C-alpha cells in the first residue's frame, strides 16, 4: 500500500473509533441526565406529598383508622398527574398504605428507609416489586416525629425509553462526524498520494537512500535552493568547491546571506533563473555554474519550488589556458622574430653580394646589439626566468603591433614565495590588456612594466598610452564578463577578473588609476622576507 492509502485507512479507523467513543459518551450522558431529571422529579413530588396536610392527617390517625381507603385514590391521581410509575405511602414500619398494584397494599416496602426514618430524603435506584426504578423516599414529619414515609419512583425501563428517544439525534450527530472525518481523510489521502506520487514508505526510503548516494558520489557540486533563498541540499563536492563547512543533515537549511559566497554566485542562486555554463570566480577557484528551476506538477501546471545548481571546477582548465596563452605568446614572438631575422638575413646577404661588406657588418652588429640589449636588460632585471621569458615574448608581440614595451625591475622575485604561475597570470593579463589598449590608441604607443620593492611588499605597476578607463567604469572593469573592448564573448572579461582573484588569494591589493592611459598597481606581500 502507498503511504497515502495507509494513512487514509488509519485516519478512517481513527474517525470511526472517535465517532463510536463520542456517540457512546453522548448516550451515557443522555442516560445519566435522564436519571438525574427523574430523581429530581420524584424527589420534588415525594416532598410535596409528604408536606400535604391531607397526608399528614391520614398518617396521624393511622392508629385508629386505616388510611389506605383515602390515600390510595389520592396516590393514583398523583401518579397520573405527575407521570410517575408509582407513589407509595407507608407507615414507619414499612407497611404500605398505597401502591400502584392494589394487591400489594399492606405488604412491606422494599428499599432503603434508614435515611427517611432519620428525617432525611433519599434518592436511589432500587429493584422492587415493579422492577428496577429510580425512587425518592421522604419522611412525613409531625411535630418533629416521623409518622410515615412517601416514596415516588419511575421505572428504569421507562427512563431507557426516554433516553432512546434521543438516540436518533445522537446517531445523526455521529453520522455527520463520521462523514466529515471521512471526507477530510479522503482529501488528505489524495493530497498525500499526489505529493508522494503513490509511493509507499519503503519505496520513499529507498529513493531517499539512492538520491543521497548519488549526491555524494557525483564529482560535480550540487545545490538545491528553495524559493525563500535557503540552501536545502548541497553535496560534499559543492561544500569543497565553495569552501563551506560540511553540511549537517540535522541542521536547519541555511540562508544564502549566511554563507560565504561570491556576490555574483549568491545573486544567481537567489534569482532561481536558468543559467548555462556561467563562469563565477571564488577566492581560489574558477567555477562553471548551470542552474535550472526545480518544479513539481500540481494538476496541469508545474509549480516552481526552487532551483537546482551544478558547479564544476574550471580552475585547472583556466590555469592551463593561461599557460597555453603564454606559450602562444612565445610562439608568436618566435615566429615574428624568425620572420624579422629572415628579412634581416636577406638584407645582409644582399649587401655582401653587392660588395658592401662594411655596411653589411654594421647592419648585423647594430641589429644584434638591439636584440642583445633587450635580452640582457630583462635577464638582469628579472631574476624569475619564467617571468623574464614571458616579458620577452610580450615585448616581441608588442613590437609586431607597433607598441614599445619597457620593463624595469628593481625588486628580486627569487625567494619571494610567489608561484611562477601566479606571476604569469597577473603580469601576463595586465600586459596583454595594456598592449591592446596602447595599440588602439594614438602614437606614440608604449607600455611600461615596473617591478619594485617597498618594505616587505612587491609592487607591480603596468601603464599604457591608451585612452584609459573612464572613472565610472573603474569598478566594473574588474568584474568577470565585463570588457571595454568591442568584441565580447567567452574570451573577454576574464583576464582582469583572474588577476583580481589571484591578487586577493595572495593577500595583496589591486588598484586602478583611471584617466588618460590606465595604470594598474598590484601590491603583493612576500611570503618570506629576503634582506
**How many Å apart are CA 71 and CA 77, to the nearest integer?**
10
**Nearest in space to 220 (alpha carbons), one of 314, 138, 152, 324:** 314
- Predicted confidence at residue 492, as pLDDT, reads 47
Mean pLDDT within 255-264: 81
Is 50 exceeded by the pLDDT of residue 443? yes
How far from 452 is each of 287, 347, 524, CA to CA, in Å?
A: 33, 41, 11
Q: Is the pLDDT of residue 175 over 60?
A: yes
pLDDT of residue 529 exceeding 50, the answer is no
CB of 84 closer than 8 Å to CB of 154: yes
> What domains are there in the chain, each with its CATH number?
3-164 (3.30.450.20), 219-313 (3.30.450.20), 317-525 (3.30.565.10)
Q: How far apart are alpha carbons 338 and 342 in whole angstroms?
A: 6
In tens, the pLDDT along 460-470 reads 899 998 888 77
Average pLDDT rounded to a whole number, residues 150-164: 72
226-244 pLDDT, tens digit each: 888 888 888 888 888 888 8
Which candidate, 138, 144, 117, places its Cα nearest to that of 52?
138
Q: What is the mean pLDDT of the chain?
A: 78
Confidence of residue 340 (pLDDT cuts 50, 70, 90): low
Work out the pLDDT band at 149, boundaries 50, 70, 90: very high
Three-state SS at 128: strand
What pLDDT is stored for residue 371 in this prediction? 55
- At 151 the pLDDT is 92
Helices 357-381 + 315-353 axis angle, to 10:
160
Question: Which one-letter DSSP state was computed for residue 248?
Answer: P
| pLDDT-wise least confident of 1-10, 37-46, 84-93, 394-403 | 1-10
pLDDT for 490-501, tens place per residue?
A: 444 567 777 887
Which letter does DSSP use for residue 208 in this model?
H
Per-residue cell: 215: 549526491
Q: Per-residue pLDDT averaged across 173-197, rounded?
A: 73
Which comes out higher in pLDDT, residue 284 or 309?
Answer: 309
In this prediction, residue 408 carries a pLDDT of 80
Query: In this predicted structure, what is the pLDDT of residue 370?
Result: 52
Residue 105 has pLDDT above 70, yes or no: yes
pLDDT at 139: 93
**In 3D, which of 405, 404, 399 has the Cα closest to residue 339?**
399
Give the containing element (helix H, strand E) for 520.
Answer: strand 519-525
Number of other CB atoms surrounding residue 270 within 10 Å: 17
Q: Does the pLDDT of residue 157 top 80, yes or no?
A: no
pLDDT at position 69 over 80: yes
Does residue 397 contact residue 332 with C-beta atoms inside 8 Å? yes
Confidence check: pLDDT of 445 > 80 = yes
Residues forming a β-bridge with 289: 278, 311
pLDDT tens column, 412-430? 666 666 777 778 888 888 8
Rounded to a whole number of angstroms, the distance between the first and last alpha carbons of the chain is 79
Q: What is the pLDDT of residue 240?
A: 82
pLDDT at 330: 61
Question: For the residues 449-453, what does the mean pLDDT come to?
Answer: 85
Instruction: Please give the grid coordinates belonging to residue 354.
Output: 653587392
- The stretch 153-180 carries a mean pLDDT of 70
Q: Is the pLDDT of residue 364 over 80?
A: no
pLDDT at 306: 87
- Integer CA distances (angstroms), 192 to 10, 186, 202, in order: 14, 10, 15
Q: How many CB atoms are closer than 10 A to CB 529? A: 11
Which one, of 489, 1, 400, 437, lies nearest residue 200 by Cα? 1
When pLDDT is cut at 50, 70 and 90, the band that residue 89 belongs to is very high
Write the secondary structure of 154-181 as one string of H (helix), E (strand) and C (coil).
Answer: EEHHHHHHHHHCCHHHHHHHHHHHHHHH
What's the pLDDT tens digit per position in 388-414? Answer: 777 877 887 787 788 888 888 776 666
Model confidence band, residue 252 (pLDDT cutoffs 50, 70, 90): low
* 40-44, 273-277, 313-317, 496-500: least confidently modelled range: 313-317
CA-to-CA dists, residue 104 to 112, 126, 309, 363, angstroms: 18, 17, 96, 160
Percent of the chain, pLDDT > 90?
5
Confidence of residue 161 (pLDDT cuts 50, 70, 90): low
Lowest mean pLDDT among 24-38, 480-494, 503-517: 480-494
193: left (phi over 0), alpha (psi -120 to 50) or beta: alpha
pLDDT computed for residue 417 by the predictor: 65
Rounded mean pLDDT, 91-108:
89
User: pLDDT at residue 283 above 50?
Assistant: yes
Distance of CA 222 to the CA centre of its chain: 16
State the residue for C-alpha cell 601603464: 463
Q: Which three cell numbers stand for residue 397?
A: 608581440
State the cell numbers at 342. Answer: 629572415
Q: Pull the grid cell for residue 418.
A: 610567489
Q: Are 89 and 73 in contact (CB under 8 A)?
A: no
> Which of 152, 11, 20, 3 lies closest to 88 in space, CA to CA?
152
Q: Can you tell me the distance from the alpha carbon of 520 to that of 82, in angstroms, rounded to the nearest whole number?
A: 113
- What mean pLDDT do residues 27-36 have? 77
Say what the pTM is: 0.45
Count the Cβ atoms, other than its own, within 10 Å of residue 224.
20
Burial 9-44 (b: 16+ CB within 10 A, else e): eebbeebeeebeeebeebbeebbeebbeebbebbbe
Phi and psi angles of residue 147, each rounded to the nearest 5 degrees, phi first: -110, 0
Q: How confident is the model at residue 150 (pLDDT cuts 50, 70, 90)?
A: very high
Higher pLDDT, 301 or 465: 465
Amino acid at each position: 500500500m502507498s503511504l497515502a492509502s495507509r494513512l487514509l485507512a488509519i485516519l478512517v479507523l481513527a474517525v470511526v473509533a472517535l465517532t463510536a467513543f463520542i456517540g457512546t459518551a453522548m448516550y451515557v450522558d443522555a442516560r445519566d441526565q435522564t436519571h438525574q431529571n427523574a430523581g429530581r422529579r420524584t424527589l420534588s413530588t415525594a416532598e410535596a406529598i409528604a408536606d400535604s396536610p391531607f397526608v399528614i392527617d391520614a398518617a396521624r390517625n393511622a392508629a385508629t383508622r386505616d388510611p389506605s381507603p383515602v390515600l390510595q385514590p389520592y396516590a393514583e391521581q398523583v401518579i397520573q398527574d405527575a407521570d410517575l410509575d408509582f407513589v407509595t405511602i407507608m407507615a414507619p414500619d414499612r407497611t404500605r398504605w398505597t401502591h400502584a398494584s392494589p394487591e400489594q397494599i399492606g405488604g412491606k416496602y422494599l428499599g432503603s428507609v434508614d435515611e427517611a426514618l432519620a428525617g432525611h430524603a433519599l434518592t436511589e435506584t432500587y429493584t422492587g416489586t415493579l422492577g428496577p426504578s429510580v425512587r425518592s423516599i421522604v419522611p412525613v414529619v409531625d411535630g418533629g416525629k416521623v409518622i410515615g414515609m412517601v416514596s415516588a419512583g419511575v421505572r428504569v425501563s421507562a427512563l431507557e425509553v426516554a433516553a432512546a428517544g434521543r438516540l436518533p439525534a445522537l446517531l445523526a450527530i455521529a453520522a455527520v462526524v463520521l462523514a466529515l472525518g471521512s471526507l477530510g481523510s479522503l482529501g488528505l489521502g489524495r493530497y498525500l498520494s499526489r505529493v508522494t506520487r503513490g509511493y509507499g514508505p519503503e519505496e520513499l526510503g529507498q529513493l531517499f537512500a539512492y538520491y543521497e548516494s548519488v549526491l555524494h558520489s557525483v564529482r560535480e557540486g550540487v545545490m538545491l535552493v528553495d524559493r525563500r533563498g535557503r540552501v536545502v541540499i548541497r553535496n560534499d563536492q559543492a561544500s569543497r568547491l565553495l569552501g563551506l563547512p560540511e553540511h549537517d543533515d540535522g541542521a536547519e537549511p541555511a540562508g544564502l546571506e549566511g554563507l560565504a559566497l561570491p556576490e555574483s554566485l549568491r545573486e544567481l542562486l537567489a534569482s532561481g533563473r536558468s543559467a548555462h555554463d556561467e563562469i563565477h570566480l571564488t577566492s581560489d577557484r574558477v567555477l562553471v555554474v548551470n542552474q535550472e528551476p526545480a518544479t513539481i506538477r500540481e494538476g496541469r501546471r508545474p509549480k516552481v519550488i526552487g532551483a537546482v545548481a551544478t558547479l564544476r571546477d574550471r580552475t585547472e582548465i583556466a590555469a592551463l589556458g593561461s599557460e597555453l596563452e603564454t606559450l602562444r605568446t612565445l610562439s608568436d614572438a618566435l615566429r615574428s622574430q624568425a620572420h624579422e631575422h629572415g628579412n634581416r638575413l636577406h638584407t645582409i646577404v644582399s649587401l655582401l653580394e653587392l660588395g658592401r661588406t662594411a655596411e653589411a657588418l654594421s647592419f648585423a652588429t647594430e641589429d644584434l646589439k638591439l636584440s642583445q640589449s633587450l635580452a640582457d636588460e630583462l635577464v638582469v632585471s628579472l631574476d624569475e626566468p619564467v617571468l623574464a621569458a614571458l616579458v620577452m615574448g610580450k615585448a616581441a608581440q608588442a613590437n609586431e603591433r607597433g607598441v614599445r614595451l619597457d620593463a624595469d625591475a628593481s625588486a628580486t622575485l627569487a625567494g619571494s614565495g610567489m608561484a611562477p604561475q601566479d606571476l604569469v597570470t597577473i603580469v601576463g593579463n595586465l600586459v596583454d590588456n595594456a598592449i591592446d589598449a596602447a595599440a588602439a590608441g594614438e602614437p606614440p604607443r608604449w607600455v611600461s612594466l615596473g617591478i619594485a620593492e617597498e618594505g616587505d611588499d612587491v609592487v607591480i605597476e603596468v601603464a599604457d598610452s591608451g585612452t584609459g578607463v573612464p572613472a565610472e567604469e573603474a569598478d566594473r572593469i574588474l568584474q568577470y564578463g565585463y570588457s571595454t573592448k568591442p568584441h565580447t564573448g567567452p574570451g573577454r572579461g576574464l583576464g582582469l577578473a583572474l588577476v583580481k582573484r589571484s591578487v586577493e588569494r595572495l593577500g595583496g591589493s589591486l588598484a586602478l588609476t583611471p584617466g588618460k592611459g590606465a595604470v594598474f598597481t598590484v601590491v603583493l606581500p612576500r611570503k618570506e622576507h629576503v634582506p
